[in-house]
Structure 1
Amino acid sequence: MMSSSVASQQPPRRRRRLPPTAQPQSPTVTTIHALGDDLLLDIFLRLPSLPSLVRAALACRSFLAAVRSSPAFRRRFRALHPPPLVGFFFETVGRDLPSFSPVRRRSDPDLAAAVRGADVFLTRLPYHEDAYPGWDIKDCHGGCLLLLNRETAQIAAYNPLTRALHLLPTPPNEISKGRRGKFERLNFFLLLSEENPGSFRVITLCHDKSRVRAVVYSSGAREWRILPWSEAAPAQPSGKKRWLLSGTRANGNLYWAHRKEDYMLVLDTTALQFSFIDLPVFLKGQGPIYAIGETKDGKLCMVFIMEFMLFISFWRVDTDGVERWIIDDGFSLEEEILQATEGTRNDDDKLILLVYSVMDGIVYLSPFLCRGNPNLPCWFLSFCLETRKLEKLFHRTSDNNLFPYIMAWPPSLVGTDVSP
């Protein structure tokens, strides 16, 4: 048995210490501002439309900087989300300004907000009390209108969404033989620069009995330049000065069909060189029933209508190695058109379809009653070349020319400078 003295010399037993109670850690808060640009832009790709992207990008400076600094993202977004149709501008008889009809899509509130914020009444255009008939639309492209005041011979480029207004100097009298009123007969085309927002050109065509030439305005030089005459067009057997129909644009070029012959004059807007291509014989002189345009992926195409059949034709190399218009497919629209005109036509009315334009793979058209009441409203329609779907856009009285107004990529979302 151990003595008490020995026991007292034993070292005291150490008590086992419990680990300290862990203090609760505050959770790490991760917000969208902490995301990298790549992940943020991947999220933005899933937005439903361009107006939604504009709204998101303008929420803060970092979002805007991410969108502006990535051309690759902008290309991907355009491929996934075509520029939306905002509405139509109409040239209205007896008014000094065009009218506007919006396309109402309840599924896209951001597009509706863009329409509400746009200056569709064109209030920034100069007003002249004694100028009648006032402003006419000569072109509508890239979200901008090109307008001509027939009385004052003034030309304006205006973006109703951004309210950017450019007033151009009067074109040289030489292109209209010194008569101011002749400007209204000329086609003017607005060409915008994607690389340099705010920079643009305006091109018009002059021709005499057998020759053609281009007249170009540059926003950088702020002056008109008359190019030399071109002999690209074949000689005109009739010898008449007005041997070309109104022009149109497609795939980066400008096109004018001959009034009576089966060919089209083509102007390359980059090289400013003229050439010509054949037109199907059965379409010569039949301007209202066909339109030149481009598909969603930029291919040159033609849409024409025979009775209630809509045909799609592409300019491509045939089996013999020669480029020509080749019919790709045809679709019957009779049932849809008869439903769209129900209640506005009589049994003896002659009903035809007019093609207004083909833009980004969308055909814009409308039925027309040849012997009916011209004051009756009608449906304006769109036909998608990719989905083959006919859609009713709106119902209203037909005026003169109409111009689809499509929202372009805003200049505020291009570049790297995000300073206010």
Structure 2
Amino acid sequence: MEIETPPPPPVAAAVAAAAAISSVLGDDDLLREILLRLGLPTSLLRAALVCRRWLRHASDPAFIRRFRALHPPRLLGAYLSTSAGPAPRLRFLPIRPVPELAAAARRAGAFFDAFKGSAASVYDSRSGRLLVTTFDDRHDSTRQICGPLSPAGDTAVVPPPPPPPPIQLTNDDECLIYHYGEFLPDDDDGRSYFCVVMGYSELQTTVYLYELQDMSWVVRASAAAQLPLLPPRSRVMLFDNAKFYMLSATNKILVCDFPSSSISVMELPNGVLNKHSGCIMLSRGDGSGIFLVHVKESQLQIFHCGKDSDNPGNWFLVDYICLRQVCANLDMTTWPSVDGQSASVKICAVGDNARFVFLEMFGAVVFLDVTSRQADKVYQLTPEDKELVSVRPLMLIWPPVFPPMKEGYDQKESSTQAQTAA
């Protein structure tokens, strides 16, 4: 008769488990590989709180670069603005929510509750921050940089954009028109943003780059060229902290390189025309140039122009998506036919590296994950919404804000690691 071996005492089993865990987590190479597979920056931040050693590995710049390459910045949701009533209506739409990010999504959704009584417009969104303008009952405006994902809901009031700079015209009959673009930097102290002011006439184009430093506007760079351009048809602009791109009404892209103080013109890809508002959007390329997303009828095209390309208009078609196919799961039978209805499909927003696209399709807002080819209808416009004004994606804060290292932070490290892993 086989005699069963009694289980080890609970204390002995716990000690053995802790020793086994420590043998794995005590290996720096294995620990980095484990941290690398956490998937979300929020998980990485929680892991960094275990001890100094974990914090040192998680916050190492080389590790952060590997983590970002494996897990691109995560989209939490989008702020959707419609022209309902006398003031724009703003709401937050979580995109493909996961339980771990539920608290962050709730904070983002409830953030504008504190602005009750004021109309709010989101001008830009970068790395978990928003550039917001609020209007009170007297229509007085206030500029604010907000951190909706911060537990405290950080908000800093900033000055309005600078007045247009004086630009010397060639003759008294020349008419000068100004165009503004406001952009948040990738990372800053929470009180900075850029303003690009372009003055253009029939004979010249001048661009100024302003940066808000210590609550004062400072001219960071400027450029001018004898390039006559027509006013833009829509807000199709892109700023990557070094270059400013703007689509003109002449189906060309103005490129202002601030480090070299030069202005040039880039042609659109072959066969691409700016036929209506919302058919073209530009996307940042994380240091690899820019992307151009174009929608025509039921086809979505994505082009890329490399940063170091000898020909600044050397576009390459890198992706081609049939909207009819990817949107087949969205109850297409209730929608008009996509083919031949080019003005009924508009681009509302795009992610960096053209990883995702928000589309307005026949009265609905659709999120399209370009990589997975999956589409979700995230909002159905109602008669009360009147018209869709803007869609501003909200990304998780990147890089994560790690706590400062403190002396004694790694005391009892082995037991803490074992308890956390368990």
Unaligned segments of structure 1, at least 5 residues: 1-25, 178-183, 370-375
Are the counterparts in 1 of residues 211 and 220 from structure 2 also a CA contact under 8 Å? no
The one-letter code sitting in structure 1 at the alignment partner of 2:77 is G
In 2, Cα distance between the equivalents of 1:80 and 1:63?
A: 19
SS at match of 1:187: strand
The one-letter code sitting in structure 1 at the alignment partner of 2:199 is H
* 1:267 to 2:222 alignment: no
Matched residue, 1:290 = 280
Cα distance, 1:161 vs structure 2: 0.7
Matched residue, 1:157 = 145
* 1:51 to 2:42 alignment: yes
Q: Deviations over 1:70-107 (max 9, x none)?
A: 111111111111111111101132346621111233xx
Matched residue, 2:398 = 409
* 1:340 to 2:294 alignment: no
SS at match of 1:111: helix
Are the counterparts in 2 of residues 254 and 268 from structure 1 also a CA contact under 8 Å? yes
Question: Which of 353, 363, 366 lines up with 1:380 in the alignment?
Answer: 366
Cα distance, 1:367 vs structure 2: 4.4
* 1:135 to 2:120 alignment: yes
Are the counterparts in 1 of residues 256 and 263 from structure 2 also a CA contact under 8 Å? yes
Distance 1:88 1:265, change over 3 A: same
**How do residues 20-169 of structure 1 correspond to structure 2 at under 5 angstroms?**
29-30=18-19, 35=26, 37-59=28-50, 62-68=53-59, 70-93=60-83, 94=85, 95=87, 98-105=90-97, 108-118=98-108, 120-123=110-113, 134-149=119-134, 151-162=139-150, 163-169=153-159
In 2, Cα distance between the equivalents of 1:187 and 1:322?
A: 22
The one-letter code sitting in structure 1 at the alignment partner of 2:266 is I
Matched residue, 2:224 = 231
Matched residue, 1:249 = 238
Q: Deviations over 1:359-397 (max 9, x none)?
A: 23313132433xxxxxx5x2512132x45x132152332
Are the counterparts in 1 of residues 224 and 262 from structure 2 also a CA contact under 8 Å? no
Question: Which of 268, 278, 288 lines up with 1:279 in the alignment?
Answer: 268
Matched residue, 1:392 = 376
Q: Deviations over 1:204-231 (max 9, x none)?
A: 3232423332241334x32113468632
Distance 1:321 1:407, change over 3 A: closer
Number of aligned residue pairs: give it: 365
Root-mean-square deviation (CA, aligned residues, Å) is: 3.9
In 2, Cα distance between the equivalents of 1:317 and 1:65?
A: 33
Cα distance, 1:293 vs structure 2: 1.4
Distance 1:416 1:354, change over 3 A: farther
Identity of aligned residues (%): 23
SS at match of 1:412: coil
Are the counterparts in 1 of residues 288 and 306 from structure 2 also a CA contact under 8 Å? no
Q: Deviations over 1:258-282 (max 9, x none)?
A: 11x1311223466665433222464
Asked which structure has the greater RCO (Cα within 8 Å, sep 6+), the reply is: 2
Are the counterparts in 2 of residues 124 and 165 from structure 1 also a CA contact under 8 Å? no
In 1, Cα distance between the equivalents of 2:91 and 2:266?
A: 36
Are the counterparts in 1 of residues 281 and 292 from structure 2 also a CA contact under 8 Å? yes
Are the counterparts in 2 of residues 337 and 367 from structure 1 also a CA contact under 8 Å? no
Are the counterparts in 1 of residues 52 and 405 from structure 2 also a CA contact under 8 Å? no
Q: Of the two, which has the highest radius of gyration?
A: 1
Q: Deviations over 1:155-184 (max 9, x none)?
A: 11111112222211233344699xxxxxx9
The one-letter code sitting in structure 2 at the alignment partner of 1:46 is R
Are the counterparts in 1 of residues 131 and 144 from structure 2 also a CA contact under 8 Å? yes
In 2, Cα distance between the equivalents of 1:170 and 1:317?
A: 32
The one-letter code sitting in structure 1 at the alignment partner of 2:40 is S
Matched residue, 1:258 = 248
The one-letter code sitting in structure 2 at the alignment partner of 1:92 is T
Are the counterparts in 2 of residues 262 and 278 from structure 1 also a CA contact under 8 Å? yes
TM-score normalised by length of structure 2: 0.72
TM-score normalised by length of structure 1: 0.72
**How do residues 176-191 of structure 1 correspond to structure 2 at under 5 angstroms?**
186-191=180-185
In 2, Cα distance between the equivalents of 1:48 and 1:409?
A: 13
Are the counterparts in 1 of residues 161 and 195 from structure 2 also a CA contact under 8 Å? no
Are the counterparts in 2 of residues 51 and 114 from structure 1 also a CA contact under 8 Å? no
In 1, Cα distance between the equivalents of 2:312 and 2:400?
A: 41
